[in-house]
Chain A
Amino acid sequence: MKSYYVNVPNQKIAPIIKIILTLSFAIILACICYLLFIALFVNPWLENNQRELSVLNFYSQKNISPAPDVYFLGTSQMKEGLNCYTFEDDLKKSNISINCYNFAVNADSPLRRLVELNSIISSKPKIVVIGTDIRSMYSDGEIDASRLMLISNRVVLDNASTQLFDAKQRELLNSDPFTRDISNRIYIVSYLNYMTLNKLTPNSFADYEYRNNFKNPFQDVKNLSIDEKLEKIKQIDPINDTLFSQYYGDSINKRALQYTVQELHKNNITVIIIDMPLDPLSSKKISNSTRDNYFSYVTTLGVPYYDFLNQYPSSYFFDTSHMNVQGRTAFSQDIAQIIKREIEK
């Protein structure tokens, strides 16, 4: 039997207690090195490059300009769908000067956005456009734990909004700095990529779009063919009405959106709801009953809303729900017209 125990070199072996102490000291040293690395390198980098933190910093540091600000919130559909430069240029043609910010983020939901609400209100935008996606509205209130952990103790929630989060989410939002530093381990590879590989080939290894003032956070990618889109709907992106129907009555995201609209109204901020466009191949899978339920709910919010669900042809989407250059341009211009009407009111 070949085993290592027969191969130990004949050396003076330290007593057991010394071996255990050496192991203990190695663990302590490793802990210290790790925490120093996180504190000195990773945390400062996260402040500027990780979306959850950089957006909070952006809200708090943004100067109040004479031109009114329009904020766009929503999921990746809004993120990929609205080009602030096109939007601003279109309004400039009508002699309207406006600052556009696209704060949309992948897999957003009204509940997840609540953590930014106070910062948004403090930064005093004129208009907030909320792009809603039926899939995120009609779902449970699950939020990626790492997102909440990252902003723990950085956000202020009042009693009403705190109650919308479940116990686990509240615990994550109140994590102590040590626990947060331990969990920030997951960003070390991103940090190292950013400091090394991303310098060689910018934007190849990660999505660092939030460095550019939240104007154009989208990425242009290859358009899928019709067959590929159908396959994606079938396999990866199943839109199933039975998933939505359980939220027809009440859902945590419906309540979160209602609360968001109320708070923005209270602070004299105009709110507009947009039902975000989907590729017709995808949108036809959403039943009339779900749509009726959605619109009857949005009506109760008391804000203008616009239905873009079936607004554009399939060629305006690079996949089943995200717009390409063509779709983005058309959507940005259409939204610009809505904002123009709203300002002229």
Chain B
Amino acid sequence: MEFYSVEFAVFFIFVMLVLIALRKQKFQHIFLLAASYFFYWTTSNNFLLILLFISLITFYAGDAIYKAENNTRKKTILIIASVATLSFLGFFKYYNFGIVNLNYLLSFLNFDKGFSLISLIFPIGISFYTFSGLSYIFDIYLGKLKPEEYFYKYALFISYFPHLLAGPIVRAGQFLPQLKKQFEFTAEGLKLGITLIAWGFFKKILIADNLAPIVNATYASPQGSTSIAIITATALFAVQVYCDFSGYIDIALGCANIIGLHLPQNFNRPYLATSTTEFWRRWNITLSSFIRDYVYIPLGGNRKGNVRTYINLIASMMVTGLWHGAAWRFVLWGLYNGILLSLERLTHNRFSLGKTVDHLLETSAGHFLKILYAQILFVFGLMIFRSQNLEDNWYCFQKFIFIDFIFTRIELMAIVIIILSALTFFLLLFNKKFSDFIVRIYHIDWISTVSGLTLSHWFIYLSCIIILLFMFSPSSNPEFFYFQF
């Protein structure tokens, strides 16, 4: 059951009507849990048992960790529970990857026999709910959280259907306290929820799904493509992956707002980040903070000297890369981002490009340059992320670095227009009025603003989005991109 299916609309309306009809809080929770399990069952059938099993392990492990008398016992339970929880993720996501690499190693060592691969179906959302469960036991171990008393409440936290398939990764501390209150089905929640859902559909169906065929066409077989084709496809992929993932998150947040059980925001305009460091604070925020809290800080964070900090940053980003998929290109992508973060940390406030340049970088025009810098680096990294294999990666890398200057007339026209537009915008930013205007726009929270419109103006917003959806949605919609992770 996809978010954009009629079945989901019927399911969601039914869930809302029953939730409103149920007066008792406990019944509401139990019904929502049953609805979430039903939702997961429609997408993943028997994998529902894994969801249930992970919920049980982490729930009882959390309780056992809390009640354990000494730290050694707490640690032992934590390790056992973590391994048990991660074993599913490891098996479904990394088993074949491990076997391929093991076989490669064995053949390198002249062993004749290798291990055979298994045909596995990946349970959608496993990376997300596994991490939610892990955060629960980690937080209890770290003393940040008390265990939940009731299993049905905890199971609802893990399986709450808006975030179940592709995040955001919710922490127990953010979710469970909300279950202490009666659900609030409010007019403002409904209006904001519909605003978010409409915007999410716009991003997913209208932008991401229409860009997907263009990106796929180039990346299906990049060998032989020109530099401009690869750079364009990668830049469009950056838009596609953002609109796809943040579109899903907006729909999830919208549904959660209508129900009255809220989820954390996962994106904060990442393409306006002025550095890679800032970018990772704005992109997939719940994953980044999970990695920060449960990988980077336990590794020592920045407390063990500069060299160790850089190693920790790189290791954390490589884990982030590996979380995205079982392939060396994801590890390479993590390594690339880790190196960028380390370099930024190394150079931060240590080098000056001269007073004039430093001053320029503090202006709006300078911010624009910094945004360009951060985004070019990110797009370059996405080339590693999107390529199918290391050979394609190498080819695209060469085409990125050694531009071949082969353009069609239209491509050349487009490049000139883009460069002139960027240059004009950059020069206009030196004008104080224009610059102030842009800054004002920059700080507007558009979703809240649209949600706060009068009904007649809000009607125009909805009508425009629905008309565009009717007219320009592609004939078939690919799955949400992050379902594969």
Binding site for B on A (CB under 8 A): 1-5, 7-9, 11, 13-16, 18-20, 22-23, 25-27, 29-31, 33-34, 37, 146, 185-186, 188-189, 201, 204
Contact = CB atoms under 8 A, between A and B. Distances in A.
Contacts of A186: 474-475
Nearest to A235: B221
B15 interface: no
B20 to A, nearest CB: 10
Given A7-B448, A26-B459, A26-B466, A19 B190 contact: yes
A8 B265 contact: no
Interface string B173-199: 010000000000111111110101000
B462 A31 contact: no
A189 B191 CA distance: 31
A19 B463 contact: no
A52 B472 CA distance: 22
A14 B174 CA distance: 29
Contacts of B257: 4-5
B16 to A, nearest CB: 11
Nearest to A31: B470
B187 A8 contact: no
Interface residues on B, range: 35 or more
A8 B452 contact: yes
Contacts of B433: none
Interface in B203-260: 253, 257
A1 B445 contact: no
Interface in B434-464: 445, 447-449, 451-452, 455, 458-459, 462-463
Contacts of A14: 187, 191, 455
B331 interface: no
B169 interface: no
A233 B447 CA distance: 52
Nearest to A32: B467
A8 B472 contact: no
A188 B445 contact: no
Q: Is the interface of A mostly helix, strand, loop or mixed?
A: helix
B471 interface: yes
B190 A16 contact: yes
B264 A19 contact: no
A8 B471 contact: no
Nearest to B408: A204
A3 B262 contact: yes
A34 B263 contact: no
Interface string B379-412: 0000000000000000000000000000001100
A34 B467 contact: yes
A27 to B, nearest CB: 6
A4 B466 contact: no
Contacts of B451: 4, 8
B262 A5 contact: yes
A153 to B, nearest CB: 21
Contacts of B187: 13-16, 19
A4 B470 contact: no
Given A1-B174, A18-B455, A7 B467 contact: no
20 contacts: A1-B174, A1-B265, A2-B285, A3-B262, A3-B263, A4-B192, A4-B447, A5-B189, A7-B445, A8-B452, A9-B452, A13-B187, A14-B187, A22-B459, A22-B462, A26-B463, A29-B467, A30-B469, A33-B470, A34-B470
B473 interface: yes
B44 interface: no
B191 A13 contact: yes
Contacts of B459: 22, 25-26
B265 A3 contact: yes
A29 B461 CA distance: 12
3 A-B pairs with least C-beta separation: A30-B466, A26-B462, A9-B452
B448 to A, nearest CB: 4
B37 to A, nearest CB: 24
Given A9-B449, A11-B452, A22-B458, A188 B196 contact: no
Contacts of B194: 19, 23
Contacts of A30: 463, 466-467, 469-470
B268 interface: yes
Contacts of B467: 29-30, 33-34
Contact of B253 (A3, A37, A146): A3
A12 to B, nearest CB: 9
A20 B194 CA distance: 10
Contacts of B262: 1, 3, 5
B483 to A, nearest CB: 23
A13 B458 CA distance: 12
Contact of A2 (B196, B264, B410, B463): B264
A27 B466 CA distance: 7
Most chain A CB atoms below 10 A, which of B186, B196, B469, B471: B471
A4 B472 contact: no
A23 B459 CA distance: 7
Nearest to B461: A26
Most chain A CB atoms below 10 A, which of B191, B262, B475: B191
Interface in B405-434: 409-410
A8 B449 contact: no
Given A8-B452, A14-B191, A26-B459, A1 B264 contact: yes
